[in-house]
Amino acid sequence: MMKTEGMSQSRRSGLAWTTRSEVIAQNGMVCSSHPISTQIGIDILKKGGSAVDAAIAVNASLGLMEPTGCGMGGDLFAIVWDAPTKKLYGLNAGGRSPKSLHLTHFKELGLTKIPTYGPLSVTVPGCVDGWVELHNKFGRLSMKEILQPTIHYAIAGFPLTEVITATLMQGMSKLSHYPNVMETFAPNKESWKKGDLFCNPMLAKTLQLIADKGRDEFYKGSIAHIIGDFIASQGGFLSYDDLATHTSDWIEPVSTRYRGYDVWELPPNGQGIAALQMLNILEHYNLSSFGFGSPEHIHYFVEAKKLTFEDRAKYYADPSFAHVPVQTLISKEYSAQRRQLIDDHRATTGVQAGVIANTHNTIYLTVADKEGNMVSLIQSNFHALGSGMTPPGLGFMLHNRGELFSLQEHQANTYAPGKRPFHTIIPAFITKEGKPFLSFGVMGGDFQPLGHVQIIMNIIDFGMNPQEAGDAPRINHLGSSSPWGDAQECDGERWNSKTAFLLKRFTS
């Protein structure tokens, strides 16, 4: 009998699962999830634009070409390496909850969870203000030049990719009963096929207004009035005033040292420090000696995740409303305490958050320019297309990030007016000896800190190059408590859709 084995194509170098060789360039680099968007970013760099200019252009184009993951109706977070000052800058361009919506309203409706779709999950979209803040600090070209490529494609059209076609159809099947959804995302059509030409002239008009009149047209002008009036008509609370008073925040990234490398994340209301907590726990173990994909590698990784995610559920929230003990959570001393709960031979079946005294769809992109400036940027609508709330004539849907508030009282992430919800989207950066080493990020909601840690382990512990590290099979562990109040049953270790093989699950 002939024996057959499943394997990847033959390679002259590199690991077997690698899809291609690394991309290497001298004068700049753009990484995104769509080839046309990547080309737009490269073109901006060739025109003399900065890394931030290119990142904004790429993000704007992805809002058109991948509306199932991002857009002007969502939030944005970024870490920027500024070559002249040799310093990292963090931007939180997340929006806040409506000031007129109170926890009592959810109780009166008998809700124990904020609905995924509809007006109650909508918070202020921070993306456009994030673009402008980044541009004001690090931009070179005009916003008209930066947004023009997307305006062009929104009018002329572009061919839909296979993945976006499928996701778009799935999103519309759930949201088509809401006003303006079909008119915006499928005018004169009932379905899309791979390769169909997609246009969004309404989005082109909105981008042109921002290019001509600036960010205030979005937050204080005609666009803000349209959004506020539409949400009111749908029984929601996001208002013109909520938009008009919105601001982004420049914040200091936080870091931990992992085997000589400084790993940087943004502090809460995002979940970036979860990656730092996990790394602090894992640093104790000699992962390289165990080998990639070994039972020990899987075991210690998942155990670190379990411990960290219980802290995430208890402590991570908007620091303007809750005390978040960031420095304690990411300290080596605290990680040493938590590490004592790990059994080398058995999986834990239940853990609690540490005691501290006094206390779903997304895009990621990164750009570097020839001067050495770099930006790590992530932006999201949260669930697929978003909340279903599509203001008339604007060409985009508002996100539903407010779903991630907890409706349980007296928690760090409990809903409150004017509060930022717990956020899953997180950019990351690594430096070594004060110099840039890697600008990176992943997509995937709760998975993101797990993904960050795995990229870091793959490169630092297992000696992979960036392409191999990104292509490697990834571990996703479902379970542990969440900051929005849903305690999920821990169901052990498993591999995500990139799995090439399965490893046995640890059981107690």
Dihedral angle, C-alpha 476, 482, 486, 490, nearest 10 °: 40
Is residue 486 assigned to a domain?
Answer: yes
In which domain, by residue range, is 211 found?
28-250+362-404
What are the helix (H) ranges across 237-316? 240-244, 272-282, 287-290, 295-315
Question: How many angstroms separate the Cα of 472 from the Cα of each of 266, 320, 460, 501?
Answer: 25, 38, 14, 11
Is residue 472 assigned to a domain?
Answer: yes
Q: Are residues 270 and 246 in the same domain?
A: no
Compute CA 239 distance to the chain's CA centroid, rounded to the nearest angstrom: 25
How far apart CA 157 and CA 318 sit, in angstroms, is 40
**pTM, full prediction:** 0.91
Per-residue pLDDT, averaged over 121-133, amounts to 98
Q: What is the pLDDT of residue 472?
A: 94
Contact 65, 37 (CB under 8 A): yes
The position carrying tokens 């992109």 is 365
Q: Are residues 66 and 98 in the same domain?
A: yes
Residue 134 CB neighbours (<10 A): 27
pLDDT-derived band at 356, boundaries 50, 70, 90? low
Q: What DSSP state is assigned to residue 109?
A: T
Is residue 214 assigned to a domain?
Answer: yes
Q: Are residues 271 and 369 in the same domain?
A: no
Is 349 part of the annotated catalytic residue set? no
Q: Report which of 125, 102, 124, 126 is spatially closest to residue 114, judged by C-alpha positions.
A: 102
What are the helix (H) ranges across 176-294? 181-185, 201-213, 216-219, 222-233, 240-244, 272-282, 287-290
Q: What is the pLDDT of residues 260-285, one digit of tens each?
A: 999 999 999 999 999 999 999 999 99
Higher pLDDT, 12 or 166: 166
Per-residue pLDDT, averaged over 398-423, amounts to 96
Question: How many angstroms separate the Cα of 178 from the Cα of each of 26, 69, 85, 181, 234?
Answer: 48, 19, 48, 6, 9
How far apart CA 482 and CA 445 sit, in angstroms, is 12
Over 60: is that where the pLDDT of 490 sits? no
Q: Are residues 351 and 366 in the same domain?
A: no
How far apart CA 219 and CA 241 sit, in angstroms, is 9
Q: What is the pLDDT of residue 501?
A: 24
Q: Are residues 211 and 335 in the same domain?
A: no
Q: Are residues 75 and 217 in the same domain?
A: yes
**414: number of CA atoms within 13 Å, CB side?**
13
Transcribe 202-216 into DSSP letters.
HHHHHHHHHHHH-TH
Over 50: is that where the pLDDT of 507 sits? no
Is residue 417 assigned to a domain?
Answer: no
Q: What is the pLDDT of residues 217-250, one digit of tens each?
A: 999 999 999 999 999 999 999 999 999 999 999 9
Q: How many structural domains does the chain have?
A: 2
What are the helix (H) ranges across 20-142? 35-46, 51-65, 103-108, 127-138
Is residue 263 assigned to a domain?
Answer: yes
Instruction: For residue 344, give the CATH number of its domain.
Output: 1.10.246.130
Is residue 196 assigned to a domain?
Answer: yes
Is residue 421 assigned to a domain?
Answer: no
Spot the catalytic one: 161, 256, 362, 390.
362
Tokens (6 digits) for 248: 């982004």
Q: Are residues 194 and 53 in the same domain?
A: yes
Q: Are residues 91 and 213 in the same domain?
A: yes
Contact 207, 150 (CB under 8 A): yes
Contact 122, 398 (CB under 8 A): yes
Per-residue pLDDT, averaged over 141-167, amounts to 97
Q: What is the pLDDT of residue 483?
A: 76
Between CA 21 and CA 330, with CA 278 as vertex, the angle to 5 degrees is: 120
| Strand arrangement, sheet containing 374-382 | 28-31, 361-369, 374-382, 75-82, 87-93, 249-251
Is residue 22 assigned to a domain?
Answer: no
How far apart CA 181 and CA 204 sit, in angstroms, is 17
Per-residue pLDDT, averaged over 356-383, amounts to 86
Compute CA 154 distance to the chain's CA centroid, rounded to the nearest angstrom: 24
Q: Are residues 341 and 261 in the same domain?
A: yes
